[in-house]
Each structure stands twice: as structure tokens, then as C-alpha cells.
Amino acid sequence: MSKVNPLYTEEYAGDFKSRFEILKSVMDNIKTPVFSLDTYYNYTSFNKAHQLMMKNIYGVDIELGKSILKYQSVKEDRLKAKANLDRALNGEKVTVTAFSGKEELSRLFFEVEHHPIYDEKGKIKGVSVFVRDISRQKKAEDATIKERDNLKSLLDSLRDGMCIISNNHQVLYTNPALEREFGEVNGKKCHEYLFGKRESCSWCRNDEIFAGKSREHRLKSPVNGKTYEIFEAPIKTVPGIKSKLLKLHDITPEIKTQEKQQQSQDKYRLLIENLQEGIWEIDKNADTTFVNDKMATMLGYSPEEMMGKNLFDFMDESVIPFAEKNLKKRKKGLKDRHDFEFVRKDGEKIYTTIITTPLQDVDGNYQGALAAVIDITDLKDAQKALEISEDFLRGLFENMPSGIAVYEVKNQGKKGQDYIIKEFNKTSQRMEGKSRREVIGKSLRDLRPNIDEYGLIGVFKKVWDSGEAVYFPEKRYVDENYSNWYENYVFKAPTGEVVAIYNDVTEKKRAELEIKNSLKEKEILISEIHHRVKNNLQIIVSLLHLQEIHEEDTRLIRILRETQGRVRTMAQVHNKLYQADIITNINFQNYARQLLEGIISSFDKTRYIKTNFEIDDIPINLETAIPLGLIINELVTNSIKYAFFQDEGTISIKLEPLDNQFQLSVGDDGVGIKKDIDITKTRTLGLQLVNSLVNQLDGEIELDRTRGTCFKIKFKILDYKKRI
């Protein structure tokens, strides 16, 4: 029963009594607890519902004028109640949620509204409190929250991207998988977030989805370039709000795999079509189900012409039994490789190598065969040619005049025993006195016991290591059975063997020794001849000198002296050849120097004449040296006699190479030859002799009058003339 403080009853006496009774009756029949308190927290009124609630919660019977705080035995409840009442007594409308009970399942929840009560002067005189039981609603909300959390946990754990989108395109939720793909939403709408578009997508079907339909489709996102399989379904949430669930399954890897598979298939198809081998597939009846272009071309058909035709249509009757035998092997599941002969469309035969594989179903039943076919017609022809070539080379090998031995190398080829004989031609057999059967498989040391000391093994080792051919010159090999001279040409074969081509040059060496001895005797004889010629010329010089002593005619004396000089010049050449190790050439530098010194010393007035000598150490043969010596003698003699009035000056001799010839320059810095004198047409014996000698050398003479007189003679070394 509702109770009201008597003070309030008196205050509302009179006209208000009936209205108050009506209000009191209404409050008692309201199931919502209602009560009021004064500023000291004392009850000024309460209804039955509140009275029952306090009994159930705290086990107390409340009374008017008593403080509500004294009835609340739980300290936490009391403190919260006081705080909320104080806020209301300060003029604030306060609504809070409270609960009672310790067990979560039996706990009761209330929504408590606090309203300040004002008197007629506007002063707060108390608080009215309305308590509404919201336990059922709270439990429903908790269940909804729990269900939402479970759903969120489920969506968060999915590997596919998931999101919830409102009917105005707002993204309400994204799971971690989607955020890994597109990042955080940051207030973007779905078309911005997922597809980078400012406006809604042209393919959006929200009207259908929010009408209750589901939808599946495939789209590529410009945001990350990936392709997704998208599933959309409506979600019913709070009444009046519509949303949809969006699932995005990344199928980019699948698409890439499909693309790769397609590329692989295209490559396989391209490979099959462009293989150099023919590809031929038949079914279990031996009918053609596939051929590539190469196979068809090989037989002179187009692929279309061959399709459906039987395998036996492309072969001669004579080889059909062999083909049937091979097909039986395929039916047993056996692979095979063999050579086979087909017949082309033009009737020509074609030789092939076939690699065949049986085709079976999942149960292992024979369904046909697949073959790779290689045209070996050219190879067959080449083999025949090779056989002919091998026969030719074998004949050449066996009949070579030189011995040929082929060695297999063992243990890095350090010793003679490491070279095993693989081939031995007939000449080698004849030279060694052994048959091929006796030496094949034996080592070189077995054949030649002292081969390691001979020096040839080092050559073999060098050739085997470097691959470069080496000529091993003539050398004498000696053991208890042999004492012969051999020369070897050693090279490495492309297959790795060491090959020696060798000759027994013993007879050649003997012949050379005889020739050398004969040449030595001839050289001694020729040297003696030069010596005797030189002595005879010296005798002639002496006779001319004796004749000069007894002559009084100055002209004749001059002629005798000039003749002595010329003979002496020739004698010096023979003397040089006699003294030289090589009797065909002389050292022209020494010869010319001695010649110049001899000419100058033969005149009394030459003590003030200087010489400028520029001749290198050049070997010159007899045919060239004598004319050059005579030319020097004539020109130097003329310079001494006619160039210097005061018996002083310089005589120069120079020999220098010019391209493929030489130039001899003989000159002086004297008064020079008159310009009107033509040296090629002079009557003087000396210059006539010089011109004759220049012609003998096939040379050219030139006179340079720039500084004194200088004769320049260009010539080539004359060829040696054999003497009998």
C-alpha cells in the first residue's frame, strides 16, 4: 500500500484531497517502483512496487520519514545512491543503470531516473525517483552483444576479407584480413575504400541486396590490382537500418595459375607444332588422332590428310609384321625406341627413329600410343658416307710412310708406362718389328724401355696438358735393341688421346753427316784457294812494285801504283774470306776500314787528311764485296790525289740500307769536280772503271756537288753464284 507523509497530507487537504487520492491509487497500481525523498534522503512517499522491491533486494520493510540510505545494507549501493541523489538535489536530472544480485544469471537490472522536486518558490525540496526493471532488455542486449562479439570473432578469424556496409555505402565493419588488403577505412565509403571511386559503383545492386537477395560476382580492384570473387548478402540489424555483409575472396593466385596453365598449354602447343621431331598419336585401333605439322610434312601430307587414317596406311607391306609386333608391346604398356621405315605420299621411303609411349586410361587399359618420330634419312646417308670416309682414313692411316701411334693417357701421363697404345699403323709395325696384336694395350715403356730418358715423355705430357701440337726434333734413341735417330710430331686428338707421328731418320742423319764432312773438306779447300789467290795477288803487287822502282817515267810509275792498289784491294777480299768462318761472306765494315787505312798510308802527303767512316757490321758476299772494294779504292785515291791543294781535308765513306737496297757514299770536302765533266762519259781510267763496276752491281751512280764531291752508288747484294 502506498504511503505519504502526514505533513504532505495536511498540506494537500481541501480541494486537492480527491485528486491526491486518485494519484495515490494510480501509483499503487503502477508496476514501476516510484518513490520520493526529502533533502535528507528520507522517504516522503513510495508505491507498493518500490516497497516490494526493497523487501526483495535488502529484506527490509521501509517506512515514511526514514532514510533510504539506512535500508541499503550494501556499502557500494549506498554510496552510488547517495551520489546520484546529491546530483538530483543540485538540480540535475540523473538517469543511471543499476543492478542487484551477485550471480550474473540471477542479477536484476534497473534504469533509475532522478528528478528534483521544487516548491512554489522554485526551491528544491526533494527528489522523485522512478525505477524501471530492464533485466529482460539488458539480458537481450547482452545476448545480442555476445552474439555480435562471437560474430566479430568469427569474421576476424576468416582469411577472406569481410565487411559490413550500410544502405548509404558507409563501411560499418572490416575484419583484419580486409584491412591487410586495403588498409584502414578512415571514414571512406565502400566504393572509395574498395575500388578507389568517388561515386558509387555502376555495378552496385544495393536495391536488390536490401530487398533480400544475395549476389555473387567477380571484380578487379584498381586499389591493389587484385581480382576478387565477391559475395553480398543482406543483414537485418536495428529496425529501420539496413546493412549488407560483403565477402571478398582473393582469386588472383588462381587466375595467375590459370594464366600460367594457359601459357603453358600455349607453349606446349607451340612447342609441339614447332618441334623438329614429328609427333604422332594413334588410338587403340591404330587410327591417327593427332599429328603435328612436322610429322605431316615428313610424310608429304597435311595434318588434315593424315587425321583418321590407319598407321599401316603409311608403310610398306614388308614392314607391317614388325609394326604389329611393336604395337603388341604398346598394348602391354611397354615403351620402346627403334628405327622404322615409312613410305611418303610420293612413294619415297623415309628412315626414322621412333620413341613410343603407350596411352592408358585410369584403370590401365590401353587407349593408344604417342610417338616422337625423328627423320634419320640424312643420318643414314651420312653414316654410309662416314663408313666410306672411315675406310678411306683407315687406308690412309695404315699406308702413311710415317709411323703413327695413338696413346690413351693414364695417371696424368707422367711416365712412359702411362701411355697405352690404342692404334699402331703398318709403318709403325714395320719400324718396330712387331705386329699390331703384340703392341695394342701395351705401354710405351713396354715397347721402348728407355723412353723416359729419351725426353719424349715430357713432350707428350706438355701436349696432353695444353692441347698444343709440338715438334720434337731429331734425337737418337738407344737401348739394347735400338740405336736409331727419330723425329716426332705430337698432337692431342679431339677425343683426348695423344698421337705421335714419327719417322726413323737414321739414314738421313748418316747422309747429313757425310754431306757435312764433305762440305767441311770443300770449305777447307776453298779457304786454301782463297789463301793462295791472296798470296798470288800479293806476288803480283810485289812484282809491280819492283817494276815501279826501276822506272823513271812518272806517268808509268803512277799507273803501276794504281794497279798495285787495285790488286791489293782484291787480295784483301780473298784474305778476309780465308780468315772468315763463313767463306761465302766477309765482314764489310772491317774490310772497308782496312782498305781505307791502306790507301791513305800509301800516299806521303796524307798526314793531315781526316776520315769519316760510317759503315755498320754488314756481311757481304764475294760477288758484291770485290766491286765495292775497287770502287772505294778508285774514289778515295782520286780524292787524295786531286781534292786537296793544301794536303788537308776530310774523306767520308758511308754504307746505309735504303728500302730493299743499299747506298754507298764516298766523298770529300775538297775543291770538287768541274760542272762540265760528265762522270758517265769521262775518259779517265779510274772513273771508267767505277762506272763499269757499278754496272756490274746492277746499280746506279749519282754525283753530289753540294759540298765538295760525293759519289752515291745504289745497289743490291748480288746473288751468290755456285762454282764448280
**Strand arrangement, sheet containing 608-615:** 608-615, 648-658, 661-668, 709-715, 700-704
Question: Domain holding 671: CATH number?
Answer: 3.30.565.10
pLDDT (tens digit, 9 = 90+) per residue, 105-119?
Answer: 556 788 899 999 998
* 406 and 299 housed in the same domain: no
**Strand arrangement, sheet containing 498-504:** 419-424, 403-409, 498-504, 483-492, 470-478
| Residue 346: band (very low, low, confident or very high) from pLDDT cuts 50, 70, 90 | very high
The tally of domains found in the chain comes to 5
Provide the greatest CA pair distance for the chain.
Answer: 207
Note the Cα 327 to chain centre separation in Å.
Answer: 46
Average pLDDT, the chain: 82
The most confident of the ranges 125-129, 423-427, 479-483, 568-572 is 125-129
* pLDDT at residue 555, as a whole number: 76
Mean of pLDDT values over 28-52? 88
Three cell numbers written together for 17 = 484531497
Asked which of 504, 525, 550 is the last residue of a domain, the reply is 504
Percent of the chain scored above 90 by pLDDT? 24
* pLDDT at residue 666, as a whole number: 92
Please state, in angstroms and as integers, the Cα–Cα distance from residue 159 to each residue in 156, 183, 250, 360, following that order: 8, 15, 10, 41
Residue 550 covered by a domain = no
* pLDDT at residue 1, as a whole number: 43
> Which residues, other chains included, contact 502 with Cβ-Cβ below 8 Å and sequence gap of 6+?
402, 403, 404, 405, 428, 486, 487, 488, 489
**Cα gap 299→352, rounded to integer Å:** 11
Residue 548 covered by a domain = no
Three cell numbers written together for 316 = 610398306
**Cα gap 369→479, rounded to integer Å:** 69
| Residue 230: band (very low, low, confident or very high) from pLDDT cuts 50, 70, 90 | very high
* 597 and 709 housed in the same domain: yes
| Element spanning 338, H or E | strand 336-343
- The answer on pLDDT for 241 being more than 70 is no
* pLDDT at residue 6, as a whole number: 54
Residue 109 covered by a domain = yes
The most confident of the ranges 223-232, 523-532, 546-555 is 223-232
* pLDDT at residue 712, as a whole number: 92
**Cα gap 693→623, rounded to integer Å:** 11
How would DSSP label each residue in 75-120?
Answer: HHHHHHHHHHHHHHHTT--EEEEEEE-SSTTT-EEEEEEEEEEE-T
Query: Quick one: which of 603, 540, 548 has its CA closest to 569?
Result: 540
Residue 690 covered by a domain = yes
**Cα gap 35→2, rounded to integer Å:** 9
* 604 and 708 housed in the same domain: yes
Evaluate whether 227 touches 220 at the Cβ level (below 8 Å). Answer: yes
pLDDT (tens digit, 9 = 90+) per residue, 633-674?
Answer: 888 888 888 888 777 889 899 999 888 889 999 999 888 888
Asked which of 504, 523, 549 is the last residue of a domain, the reply is 504
* pLDDT at residue 32, as a whole number: 85
Residue type, 242: K
| DSSP label at residue 721 | P
Evaluate whether 553 touches 601 at the Cβ level (below 8 Å). Answer: no
- The answer on pLDDT for 344 being more than 50 is yes
Note down the domain range covering 615: 584-715
**Cα gap 346→631, rounded to integer Å:** 90
* 200 and 320 housed in the same domain: no
| Helix, strand and coil in the chain, % to nearest 5 | 45, 30, 30
- Name the phi and psi angles at 464, rounded to 5: -65, -35
Residue 514 covered by a domain = no
- The answer on pLDDT for 438 being more than 70 is yes
* pLDDT at residue 652, as a whole number: 92
Mean of pLDDT values over 394-422? 87
Query: Quick one: which of 594, 592, 596 has its CA closest to 606?
Result: 596
Please state, in angstroms and as integers, the Cα–Cα distance from residue 177 to each residue in 168, 173, 174, 214, 404, following that order: 23, 12, 8, 22, 81
pLDDT (tens digit, 9 = 90+) per residue, 506-521?
Answer: 888 787 777 776 656 5
Mean of pLDDT values over 27-48? 88
* 7 and 133 housed in the same domain: yes
Residue type, 409: V
Percent of the chain scored above 70 by pLDDT? 84
The most confident of the ranges 70-84, 144-158, 235-249 is 70-84
* 10 and 128 housed in the same domain: yes
Question: Domain holding 320: CATH number?
Answer: 3.30.450.20
- Name the phi and psi angles at 186, rounded to 5: 55, 45
* 326 and 447 housed in the same domain: no
Residue 324 covered by a domain = yes
**Cα gap 447→432, rounded to integer Å:** 8
Mean of pLDDT values over 613-627? 84
* 375 and 411 housed in the same domain: no
* 133 and 8 housed in the same domain: yes
| DSSP label at residue 720 | P
| Residue 564: band (very low, low, confident or very high) from pLDDT cuts 50, 70, 90 | low
* 3-class DSSP assignment, residue 387: helix
**Cα gap 600→92, rounded to integer Å:** 152
* 330 and 422 housed in the same domain: no
- The answer on pLDDT for 723 being more than 50 is no
Evaluate whether 702 touches 718 at the Cβ level (below 8 Å). Answer: no
Residue 129 covered by a domain = yes
* 176 and 69 housed in the same domain: no
* pLDDT at residue 93, as a whole number: 93
* 281 and 250 housed in the same domain: no
- Name the phi and psi angles at 188, rounded to 5: -75, 150
| Residue 237: band (very low, low, confident or very high) from pLDDT cuts 50, 70, 90 | low
**Cα gap 81→78, rounded to integer Å:** 5
pLDDT (tens digit, 9 = 90+) per residue, 666-715?
Answer: 999 888 888 878 877 777 777 888 888 889 888 999 988 888 899 999 99
- The answer on pLDDT for 100 being more than 80 is no
Residue 593 covered by a domain = yes
Please state, in angstroms and as integers, the Cα–Cα distance from residue 478 to each residue in 434, 481, 485, following that order: 18, 8, 9
